[in-house]
Structure 1
Amino acid sequence: MDEFQARARFRDARVARLATADAQGRPHLVPVTFDLDGDTVAFAVDPKPKRTTDLRRLRNIAANDRVCLLVDHYDDDWTRLWWVRADGRARVAGDGADRERALGRLAERYPQYRDRPPRGPVVLIAVESWTGWSYEG
C-alpha cells in the first residue's frame, strides 16, 4: 500500500488506537476519535466519563513525544484485511488557534462534539511516516 492509499484509509476510519510510552518505555494503548488535516492528526480529551483528568496518555506525551496511531479493518473474509500506521511526534495544545481549529474539525466529523465540545486539551500529532498493508491475494 502506498502512502497516498494509507493516508486515505486512515482519514476514512472512525477510530484509531493511540500508542504512547512513558520515559521508561512502558507502553500504553487507548482508542481515540480523531481528525486528519494533511499530515496532522488531532484528538481531544473529551467529556466522556474518566476516572481522572490526569490522563496517562498526556503524561506519556509530556515525557516522550513519539507516538503511533493504528487504524485497521478486520473481516472474516481475509482478502479484505488492511491496516495503516501513522508514526509521529505529539504535542498538547491547551489553548490557542491550533486547538480551536482542531476542535472545529472534530465537531464537523463527530456530531457528539457539536453537542458537547471538549473542554480538555487537544493533542496534535505531526505524522512523520505512513505505513500500511492490505491483503493482496
Structure 2
Amino acid sequence: MPELDAEQARRRLAGAPVVRLATADERGRPHLVVATFALERAADGDLIHMAVDHKPKRTRNLKRLRNIAVNPWVSVLADHYEDNWSRLWWVRADGRARVSDDPRELHAAAHLLAQRYPQYRHRPPQGPAIVVTVHHWVGWIYSAEDDISSTS
C-alpha cells in the first residue's frame, strides 16, 4: 500500500471536489468542517484558498476563524472512497493558516474559487478569506496502479 509523494498528493487534492479543514482551539480541541477550496502554486510554495461564503450559517463568527486566530496550524484532507477498495486514497496538506479581511486577498480567493465552482460566479464569497500555506504533503493510495485520471 504505497504512500504518495508530495506532487502526487498535490494533484489528487487539486482534483477533489471539496476538502475537510481541521483546526484546533487554544486548548487543542479539534474542529472539522467541509470546505470549498482552490489550490494555487505560488513562488514560495502551495497555497490553499478558502472563504466564508453566502451559504446559511448560524453566525459569521465561525469556530474555524476563531481557532485559526489562536492556533494557525491546520490540516486539509481530501479522500476518495468507493466499494472497490483497491481505488481508495487520501491526501493531507498540513500547514499554517491565516484569516484575511484584506479586499485584495478576498478578491483573489473569490476569483480562484469562482474558477472551480460555478455557484460562486454570480455570488462570490464575501469573506473573510482563509489562506493556508502548505508545509507538508502526505498521502496514501491502496494501489500504485490506480490512475489519477480515473479518480474523483
- Taking structure 1 as the reference length, the TM-score comes to 0.97
The one of 32, 37, 44 equivalent to 2:35 is 32
For residue 6 of structure 1, report the CA deviation from its aligned partner. 0.4
1:52 and 1:125 map into 2 onto residues whose CA distance is 22
- 1:121 equivalent in alignment to 2:124: no
State whether residues 106 and 127 of structure 2, in contact with CA within 8 Å, keep that contact through their aligned partners in structure 1: no
Question: Alpha-carbon deviation of 1:95?
Answer: 1.8
Say whether 1:79 aligns with 2:86.
Answer: yes
Aligned-pair distance for 1:93? 1.2
The amino acid across from 2:143 in the alignment is E
**Structure 2: which 5+ residue stretches go unaligned?**
145-152
Corresponding residue for residue 62 of structure 1: 69
1:16 aligned partner, one-letter code: V
Aligned to 2:53: 46
- CA RMSD of superposed structures (Å): 1.0
Task: For residues 9-45 of structure 1, give each alpha carbon's deviation from its aligned partner in whole angstroms, at most 9, with x where no partner exists.
Answer: 0001010000000000010000000000011000010
Note the 1:99-114 alignment, pairs <5 A: 99-114=106-121
The residue type paired with residue 30 of structure 1 is V
What count of residue pairs does the alignment treat as equivalent? Answer: 137
Deviation at 1:111, TM superposition (A): 0.7
What's the CA shift string for 1:72-106, capped at 9, x where partnerless?
A: 00011110000000000000111232221111111
What stretches of structure 1 move > 6 A for 4+ residues in a row? none
Q: Structure 2 length as normaliser, TM-score? A: 0.87
The reply on whether 1:136 has 2:139 as its aligned counterpart is no
Give me the whole-angstrom Cα distance separating, in 2, the residues matched to 1:99 and 1:45.
10
1:117 Cα deviation (Å)?
Answer: 1.1
Matched with 2:14 is: 11
